[in-house]
């Protein structure tokens, strides 16, 4: 084919897909305005044109593959570290005692790791928009996908106003006289500016936020060891295991442990967020995403288990400071104050503020990507699938921004009740999301086996395997039952319908969504039969021969590594 023919084809393709332009080189302002237009097929350009102009193509739906490996790793390590660790752990310590902290977070961490491994296997094979929300529809059935997907979207859209208000309250640590609404406005604008910068803005912000949180936790751990060993001087002396003896390792028996168990689950919520980046990850997802998800193991061990162990040594469970609110009740701040260090509490309060901004930033990302996925599956209004030419899900941003306006009730004395009920709507979202990931993985593996396929064809096989997902799913059902128990018979209180629904309303909400979709769709199949499951469409590595050759080369390279090299490759 001649060069002139090739040029004609490129010109024809461009004319077919791209809108007419008035100038060959539009102005900066025109380009800015055009960036908000709906993304079309490769933005009206051929693959050759994209390559010549050094542009990255949009994935299905218009999202861009701009998230770098370092950003994904930091999101997996520190992205979901927030008030669950920095503040809620103090309430858990007061409720259950230091031993309950370790038992609760230890068990939750075990099934979370299995869940994340299951997700790593699925996202490396099917790096699609919406990730686990899509897998629920595909590998379980549409009504379950509708219920879980919308519940997850509700969770993130409610988190935003809560985090904004929490940010304004955290500023109150310094006794600011500025109206809280002013701080809410500042943080509101900041979060949406970051997200309007596309996934690059989100990724870079989360990278910086995560680095700060990680440095702060490592610094606290070093300080905690010094304080426990008597480094605070004669005023406190050697602390050791003093608080494990008095007031003791447990404060409220079995129910106290169960309450901590549930708090631990909520504190680790958002860990699965890295799975939503599957469609926007730069590079090969079968390598990048499992490697990032592996980092969750270190976050669990270092940033939760080690840190909470040290907190249990430093802060007595009967400390009155733990009964406060906001950053003042953070066991980290209490520990530093008890050590007689005057400057560090303010510094750590800044870290708490950054953690809140990080979760607020993640909430916009999480909601917008989930709602796009639901719209693309026909489980949400089609206009919510709008993604512009820069890969920004604008309708998702708009809905999140509208709901985020609820944060301005910060000026109202009723804000506590408002947010208690908002959170109740999606309070069990984490349990249902993790359970859905495990069930999707279990059914995928069962379909793979039924169709006579082998796990050797998978780009990445979960280290915890099929039975790891079975274990995690079973424990999650137990946790849901325990949540029902402590909601019906709350610790230290008589049964109260208001308390019950504040803690368990998420369960009926999911059930109503599930049954409502069943009635609307008139599809009363409980689960899609295994032989009908599609386990091939949407694979990024469609060339099986090439994939198997690459996997064989990687296995051979791994086999030739020394023992320590194999350990490092397994862990990292």
User: What confidence tens digit (pLDDT) does each residue in 108-121 have?
Assistant: 889 999 999 999 89
Phi (first) and psi of residue 256, to 5 degrees: -65, -40
Q: What is the pLDDT of residue 538?
A: 74
Distances from the Cα of 309 to the Cα of 268, 355, 408, angstroms: 16, 21, 37
Residue 169: predicted pLDDT: 77
Question: For residue 455, is it within any domain?
Answer: yes
pLDDT band at 232 (very low <50, low <70, confident <90, very high): low
pLDDT digits (tens, 9 = 90+) for 292-309: 777 777 778 878 889 999
Q: Which segment, 38-47, 410-419, 473-482, is predicted with the most confidence on average? A: 473-482
Residue 40, classed as helix, strand or coil, is: coil
Q: For residue 524, what are the contacts with CB-CB under 8 A and spacing of at least 6?
A: 518
* For residue 46, pLDDT beyond 60: no
In angstroms and rounded to an integer, the radius of gyration of the C-alpha atoms of the chain is: 25
- The mean pLDDT value for 482-492 works out to 87
Three-point CA angle 154, 157, 163, nearest 5°: 130
pLDDT at residue 8, rounded to an integer: 44
pLDDT at 21 over 60: no
d(CA 290, CA 294): 6
User: Residue 16: is its pLDDT beyond 60?
Assistant: no
The mean pLDDT of 505-513, rounded to a whole number, is 90
pLDDT band with cut points at 50, 70 and 90 for residue 449: very high
pTM score of the predicted model: 0.85
Q: CA 375 to CA 372: how far, in whole Å?
A: 5
**Contact, 437 vs 399, CB < 8 A?**
no
Q: Identify the H or E element spanning 462.
A: none
Q: Which of 437, 534, 465 is nearest to 135 (CA)?
A: 437
Express each pLDDT in 238-296 by its tens digit.
788 888 988 889 888 888 888 888 888 878 888 888 877 777 777 676 777 777 777 77
Is residue 17 one of the residues assigned to a domain?
Answer: no
Residues 483 and 428 sit within 8 Å (Cβ to Cβ)? yes
- Tokens encoding 350: 């800044």
What's the residue count for the chain? 572
User: Does 397 fall in a domain?
Assistant: yes
Q: How many percent of the chain have pLDDT more than 70?
A: 86
- The whole-chain average pLDDT of the chain stands at 81
- The CA-atom distances, in angstroms, between 102 and each of 107, 189, 219, 301, 315 are 8, 38, 21, 11, 14
Residue 38, phi then psi, degrees to nearest 5: -60, 140
Q: Is residue 281 part of a domain?
A: yes
pLDDT value of residue 481: 92
Q: Does any domain span residue 321?
A: yes
- Contact between 408 and 184 (Cβ < 8 Å): yes
Cα–Cα distance for residue pair 206/355, rounded to 1 Å: 10
Q: Which residue has the tokens 């301005």?
A: 408
Is residue 401 within 8 Å of 160, Cβ to Cβ? no
CA distance 195 to 208: 15
Do residues 108 and 261 lie in contact, with contact meaning Cβ atoms separated by under 8 Å? yes
Considering the domain boundaries, does residue 8 fall inside one? Answer: no
Q: In this predicted structure, what is the pLDDT of residue 491?
A: 81
Average pLDDT over residues 420-436: 82
* Tally of domains within the chain: 1
Q: Looking at residue 451, which CATH number applies to its domain?
A: 1.20.1740.10
Task: Tell me the mean pLDDT in the region 126-147.
Answer: 86
Shortest CA distance to 453 belongs to which of 544, 390, 389? Answer: 544
Residue 342 in domain: yes
Instruction: Give mean pLDDT, residues 159-183.
Output: 81
Q: Is residue 562 part of a domain?
A: no
Domain that holds residue 86: 69-541
């Amino acid at each position: 084919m001649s060069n002139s023919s090739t040029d004609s084809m490129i010109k024809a393709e461009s004319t077919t897909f791209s809108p007419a332009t008035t100038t060959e080189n539009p102005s900066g302002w025109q380009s800015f305005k055009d960036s908000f237009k709906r993304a079309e097929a490769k933005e009206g350009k051929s693959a050759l044109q994209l390559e010549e102009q050094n542009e990255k193509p949009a994935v299905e739906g218009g999202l861009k593959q701009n998230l770098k490996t370092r950003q994904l790793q930091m999101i997996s390590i520190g992205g979901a570290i927030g008030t669950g660790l920095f503040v809620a752990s103090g309430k858990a310590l007061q409720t259950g005692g230091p031993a309950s902290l370790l038992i609760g977070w230890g068990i939750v961490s075990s099934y979370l790791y299995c869940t994340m491994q299951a997700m790593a296997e699925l996202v490396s094979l099917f790096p699609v928009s919406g990730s686990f929300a899509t897998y629920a529809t595909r590998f379980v059935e549409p009504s379950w996908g509708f219920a879980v997907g919308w519940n997850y979207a509700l969770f993130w859209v409610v988190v935003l106003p809560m985090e904004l208000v929490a940010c304004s309250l955290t500023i109150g640590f310094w006794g600011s006289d500025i109206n809280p609404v002013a701080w809410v406005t500042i943080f509101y604008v900041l979060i949406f500016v970051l997200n309007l910068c596309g996934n690059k803005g989100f990724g870079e912000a989360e990278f910086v936020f995560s680095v700060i949180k990680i440095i702060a936790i490592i610094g606290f751990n070093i300080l905690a060891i010094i304080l426990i060993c008597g480094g605070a001087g004669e005023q406190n002396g050697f602390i050791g295991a003093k608080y494990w003896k008095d007031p003791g390792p447990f404060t409220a028996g079995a129910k106290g442990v169960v309450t901590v168990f549930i708090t631990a689950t909520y504190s680790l919520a958002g860990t699965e967020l890295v799975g939503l980046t599957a469609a926007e990850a730069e590079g090969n997802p079968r390598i990048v995403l499992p490697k990032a998800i592996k980092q969750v193991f270190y976050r669990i061990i270092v940033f939760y288990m080690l840190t909470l162990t040290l907190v249990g040594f430093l802060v007595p469970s009967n400390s009155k400071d733990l009964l406060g609110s906001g950053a003042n009740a953070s066991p980290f701040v209490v520990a530093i104050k008890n050590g007689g260090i005057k400057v560090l509490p303010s510094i750590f309060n800044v870290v708490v503020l950054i953690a809140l901004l990080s979760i607020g930033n993640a909430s916009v990302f999480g909601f917008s990507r989930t709602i796009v996925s639901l719209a693309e599956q026909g489980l949400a209004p089609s206009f919510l699938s709008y993604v512009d030419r820069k890969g920004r899900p604008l309708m998702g941003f708009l809905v999140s921004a509208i709901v985020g306006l609820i944060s301005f009730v910060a000026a109202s004395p009723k804000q506590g009740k408002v947010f208690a009920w908002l959170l109740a709507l999606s309070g069990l979202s984490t349990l249902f999301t993790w359970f859905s990931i495990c069930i999707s993985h279990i059914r995928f593996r069962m379909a793979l086996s039924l169709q006579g396929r082998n796990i050797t064809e998978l780009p990445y096989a979960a280290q915890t395997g099929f039975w790891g997902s079975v274990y995690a799913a079973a424990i999650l059902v137990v946790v849901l039952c325990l949540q029902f128990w402590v909601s019906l018979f709350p610790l230290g209180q008589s049964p109260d319908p208001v308390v019950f629904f504040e803690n368990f309303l998420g369960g009926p909400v999911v059930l109503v969504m599930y049954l409502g979709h069943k009635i609307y769709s008139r599809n009363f199949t409980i689960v899609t039969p295994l032989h009908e499951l599609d386990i091939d469409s949407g694979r990024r590595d469609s060339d099986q021969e090439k994939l198997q050759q690459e996997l064989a080369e990687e296995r051979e390279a791994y086999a030739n590594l020394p023992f320590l090299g194999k350990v490092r490759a397994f862990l990292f």
